[in-house]
């Protein structure tokens, strides 16, 4: 018999010929299509998913700055003149944003959120370096502070420390 054993010469007992691989499982393509539609719906409807996809597929700046408290964060002290003071220790770290000066603002706020003392300064921080900062805030004689806020002026980084006993009277 000529051509025996070749696939096209096979005799099937009345059944339809075998399907090509891409046509064998119609359910798989429906599942893939459904997952694609779900992904697009999530992308359109959920802001967090949109943000993450945008973040994943677009170039992002590699540098960032870090701001954090060290030690006791904000420690009440007294001046030689007997006025209350608050010592604040924090660090500014520059991770790949070039050598630039950072302007910081340290504020002590009372229980109502009104500032009772403020100090602003500028500090150069080299790329890849971190600088420790100590600021002493001189408070008015009768002032009580409840929160210390440290922020980098013109930048989004900020931190705060609430006094442990900052109830109605504050510290």
Q: What is the DSSP string of 94-160?
A: EESS-SEEEEEEEEEE-TTS-EEEEEEEEEEE-TT-EEEEEEEEEPPTT----EEEEEETTSS-EEE
- Check residues 23 and 54 and name the one with the higher pLDDT: 54
Mean pLDDT in the chain? 78
Nearest CA to 149 out of 102, 114, 124 is that of 114
Contact 135, 88 (CB under 8 A): yes
Ranges of each domain in the chain: 22-60, 64-162
The Cα 12–Cα 27 span in angstroms is: 25
In tens, the pLDDT along 14-48 reads: 566 666 665 555 667 778 888 888 877 777 777 77
The residue-averaged pLDDT of 95-99 equals 77
Torsion sign across C-alpha atoms 118, 122, 128, 133 = negative
- Check residues 47 and 105 and name the one with the higher pLDDT: 105
Nearest CA to 171 out of 98, 88, 77 is that of 77
pLDDT band at residue 170, thresholds of 50, 70 and 90? Answer: very low
Predicted pLDDT of residue 149: 94
Provide the Cα torsion 11, 13, 18, 24; round to 10°.
-170
H or E segment and range at residue 38: helix 26-45
Predicted pLDDT of residue 18: 67
The Cα 107–Cα 139 span in angstroms is: 10
Predicted pLDDT of residue 159: 92
Lowest-confidence segment of 8-12, 35-39, 124-128, 158-162 by average pLDDT: 8-12
Q: In CATH, what class is 64-162?
A: mainly beta
Q: Is the pLDDT of residue 13 over 80?
A: no
| Strands lying side by side in the sheet with 158-162 | 115-125, 100-109, 147-152, 158-162
Predicted pLDDT of residue 26: 61
Nearest CA to 157 out of 110, 73, 88, 90 is that of 90
Q: Is the pLDDT of residue 68 over 70?
A: yes
Q: Is the pLDDT of residue 115 over 50?
A: yes
Q: Is the pLDDT of residue 116 over 70?
A: yes
The Cα 143–Cα 125 span in angstroms is: 33
């Amino acid at each position: 018999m000529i051509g025996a054993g070749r696939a096209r010469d096979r005799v099937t007992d009345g059944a339809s010929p075998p399907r090509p691989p891409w046509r064998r499982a119609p359910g798989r393509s429906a599942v893939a299509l459904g997952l694609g539609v779900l992904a697009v719906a999530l992308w359109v409807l959920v802001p967090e998913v949109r943000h993450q996809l945008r973040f994943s597929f677009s170039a992002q700046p590699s540098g960032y700055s870090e701001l954090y408290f060290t030690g006791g964060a904000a420690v009440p002290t007294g001046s030689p003149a007997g006025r209350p003071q608050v010592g604040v220790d924090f660090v500014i770290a520059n991770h790949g944003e070039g050598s630039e000066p950072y302007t910081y603002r340290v504020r002590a706020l009372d229980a109502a959120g009104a500032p009772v003392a403020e100090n602003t300064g500028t500090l150069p921080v080299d790329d890849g370096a971190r600088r420790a900062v100590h600021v002493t805030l001189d408070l008015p004689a009768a002032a009580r502070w409840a929160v210390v806020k440290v922020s980098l002026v013109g930048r989004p980084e900020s931190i705060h420390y609430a006094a442990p006993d900052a109830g109605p009277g504050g510290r």
